[in-house]
Amino acid sequence: MTDAGAQEFSEDLVSALDAAARALRGADALLIGAGAGMGVDSGLPDFRGDEGFWNAYPSFRGRRFAELSNPYWFRADPEQAWGFFGHRLNLYSAHEPHAGFQILRSWEQRFTHGVFIFTSNVDGHFQRAGFTEEQVLECHGSIHFLQCVRCCGDEIWPAQDLCMSVDPATIRATSKLPTCPHCRGLARPNILMFGDSDWLCGRAEQQELRYRAWLSRTRESKRVALELGAGLAVPTVRMQCERRGAPLIRVNPREATTRPDQLSLPMEALQAIQALDARLQAA
């Protein structure tokens, strides 16, 4: 069957999309859960598995994402650490949020109890698309905020217009490294890394408080969860959506398996958002 964008969908997928659209129309509060798959349609790399990581960073072949995304390197090899994270910061800043973000924003008026975003992404694209800080919980932090490597205090500050010069062959920083405004020591992104006991979680805790307040306000409402591109490797977003949304609409091109009482859409995030929007507009 032909659907939005002249794409051919199976009868089962059309039926699932129709059911998901009905769930959205019948809801008065929307929880959006977003994982790495939400950013792929914006041109951001898919770090799924070692091959995905190596495709994004060929010079790191033989090493793992978890090995590089580790606070150890900010002490052992700051130029390597800021080469990796500086490249990501430049990449996230250079790419615009895809059209699906604006479609989701256009849905806000449909939900009398509002929309909240729970995301493991650190790219800040929901805020860039126009969602307010009060609507977003970034459970792994944000690359657009910094903290002191030494943890000389609890301050977290905006990276503002920080742009790192990075050698593309070695992914090593070649520009001056960011420093803490208090102790003048090295700064790092306010991101929860692997094996990270130094992450300052104050900003995330404030987001968590706003999220909990929203959940409390919508406890008796007809709340639906739309999960976009959240995988099994780090299941934080999936677990949150399963607990907080009834029904749950799971969008994932490879890992869309759900319980019988949930809705599975084996699709890319933008493709699914557009197909759902076409149905909501037609209603």
In this predicted model, what pLDDT tens digit does every residue of 126-169 receive, in sequence order?
999 999 999 999 999 999 999 999 999 999 999 988 999 999 99
Say which residue, 246 or 167, is predicted with more confidence: 167
Q: What are phi and psi of 59, to 5 degrees?
A: -70, -15
88, 155, 206 from 200: Cα distances, Å = 20, 8, 12
Average pLDDT, the chain: 91
What confidence score (pLDDT) does residue 50 get?
Answer: 57
In the chain, pLDDT over 90 holds for what percent of residues? 75
| CB of 269 closer than 8 Å to CB of 251 | yes
Q: Is 80 exposed, middle or buried (0-12, 13-18, 19+ CB in 10 A)?
A: middle
Largest CA distance in the chain: 62
CA distance 100 to 275: 10
Q: What are phi and psi of 220, to 5 degrees?
A: -95, 5
Q: How wide is the angle at C-alpha 239 spanned by C-alphas 243 and 71, nearest 5°?
A: 140
pLDDT at position 4 over 60: no
Q: Which of 235, 159, 163 is nearest to 190 (CA)?
A: 159
CATH code 3.80.30.20 for 2-282: no
Strands 141-148 and 187-191: antiparallel
Say which residue, 197 or 244, is predicted with more confidence: 197
What confidence score (pLDDT) does residue 67 get?
Answer: 86
What confidence score (pLDDT) does residue 5 get?
Answer: 45
CA distance 140 to 23: 29
CA distance 128 to 107: 17
CA distance 81 to 75: 9
DSSP three-state, residue 72: helix
Residue 222 banded pLDDT, cuts 50, 70, 90: very high
Q: What is the pLDDT of residues 34-85, one digit of tens each?
A: 998 999 888 887 766 656 665 777 777 778 888 889 999 999 999 999 999 9
Residue 99 banded pLDDT, cuts 50, 70, 90: very high
What confidence score (pLDDT) does residue 194 get?
Answer: 94
| CB of 192 closer than 8 Å to CB of 141 | yes
Residue extents of the structural domains in the chain: 2-282
Question: Which residues is 226 bridged to in the sheet?
Answer: 32, 249
CA distance 19 to 277: 13
CA distance 102 to 28: 19
Q: What are phi and psi of 113, to 5 degrees?
A: -100, 10
Residues with Cβ within 8 Å of 124's Cβ and at least 6 positions away in sequence, in order, are 92, 138, 142, 143, 144
Least confident piece of the model among 6-10, 46-50, 223-227: 46-50
What confidence score (pLDDT) does residue 49 get?
Answer: 60
Average pLDDT over residues 246-254: 91
What confidence score (pLDDT) does residue 202 get?
Answer: 97
Least confident piece of the model among 111-115, 203-207, 246-250: 246-250
Residue 255 banded pLDDT, cuts 50, 70, 90: confident
Strands 223-228 and 29-34: parallel
Q: Which of 83, 65, 62, 81 is nearest to 73 (CA)?
A: 81
